[in-house]
Homo-oligomer: A and B are copies of this chain.
Amino acid sequence: MVVKIIKRPFVNPKMMGEMIRQQIRATLYRVKESTKVELAQSTGISFPTISKTLDEMNDSGEVLLTGLGLSSGGRRPRTYKLNPDYMTGLAVCLEKDFSSYLILNYEGDIIGRETLPGVLQAGPELLTEQIGIFLARFPSMRVLTLGVPGAVNNGRVSHMPDYERFKDFNFRTFYEERFSLRVQVENDMNTTVIGYYDSIGSDDSLSLVYLYLGKNGPGAGIIVNGHVVRGGTFFSGEVSYVPLSDTQNFMQMIDAASAIQDSNQSRSKLMEAISRLVAVFTATINPHIIIFCSTELTNLDLVQIRNRGASLVPEENLPKLVVSDWKQDYFHGLHQLTVGSMLAAD
């Protein structure tokens, strides 16, 4: 229901304890180190509750007493932080030619990274083997986050045409049953746009489009009102198919552009295609920002796109156009998803 008639998202006293722990975890993650008073202020929870809960978390080893903070004229307060060794998380980026592994501690720090051979063509067995290695090395591993180049639905592959061995593979149930891990799987472009969204750290719910013009054909990750758009058939962001001219869709247009000999003309045709796609997004979901890969476009290109775009839609409605580092945003997304999964614990 759009209409704000609540259905059942209710909070009873029993859940409050866990919610309070979540608030504490999230705050400690943000600020790294804090006193009980500071936690009470920044969470809005009463001091005694914070004190009691934090003591419990200290007893269970989830947080550590780090010492005493600065005095502001009276007794010096004890400071606490998340215990980095409380839990470990594994973030995995699966690509055709390699698998990138990131090992994160409970504070969100990267305590290990490794690149192993690609598993997408080989099949799940090799992936299981690779994960097994890390699991053996880090017994406190509790969460697993996978970024994959394909459509996933609730942990299960729903469309990944190039990799037959993973057809319909359910990452979540497979690894949650086999190892006792909390498993998350996300599409690569969605992960990237999540990473970018998190990195700009805006708390109001924005709409963004992260555009990628890769070798495997272009694609986009979309966030609307702060939520990832997965689409009715997990086909969202497949912008290759957007019809933009009498005879060509977006992919055909950029393919045609790159086929042109004259490099100026080729570039100009590419710019035209992108400008049109920008106009399409502006006149439909009207995002705040569209992000391009810095390896593909320069800031100068953006000016050109903006100018051309302004001839298609009223300029004041054009989104902010920015370039960003795809790989970095992707990994940041994986990182944040993994941390989020660890901190949502219990």
Contacts and interface: CB of A to CB of B under 8 A. Distances in A.
B220 A284 contact: yes
A116 interface: no
Contact of A280 (B235, B240, B284): B284
A296 interface: no
A300 interface: no
Most chain B CB inside 10 Å of its own CB: which residue of A2, A29, A194, A231:
A2
Nearest to A312: B243
Contacts of A207: 229, 231-232
A5 B23 CA distance: 8
Contacts of A238: 283, 286, 313, 317
A10 B40 CA distance: 13
A65 to B, nearest CB: 23
Total identical chains: 2
Most chain B CB inside 10 Å of its own CB: which residue of A194, A201, A313:
A313
Interface of A: 1-8, 10-13, 16, 19, 22-23, 26, 29-30, 43-45, 194, 197-198, 201, 203, 206-207, 220, 222-246, 249-250, 276, 279-289, 312-314, 316-317, 319, 336-337, 339-341, 343-344
Contacts of A26: 5-7
Contacts of A29: 5
Contacts of A223: 2
Contact of A198 (B3, B45, B222, B285): B3
A29 B206 CA distance: 33
Contact of A1 (B1, B4, B198, B243): B198
Given A283-B235, A284-B222, A194 B2 contact: yes
A10 B5 contact: no
Given A1-B198, A5-B26, A227-B224, A232 B283 contact: no
A15 to B, nearest CB: 9
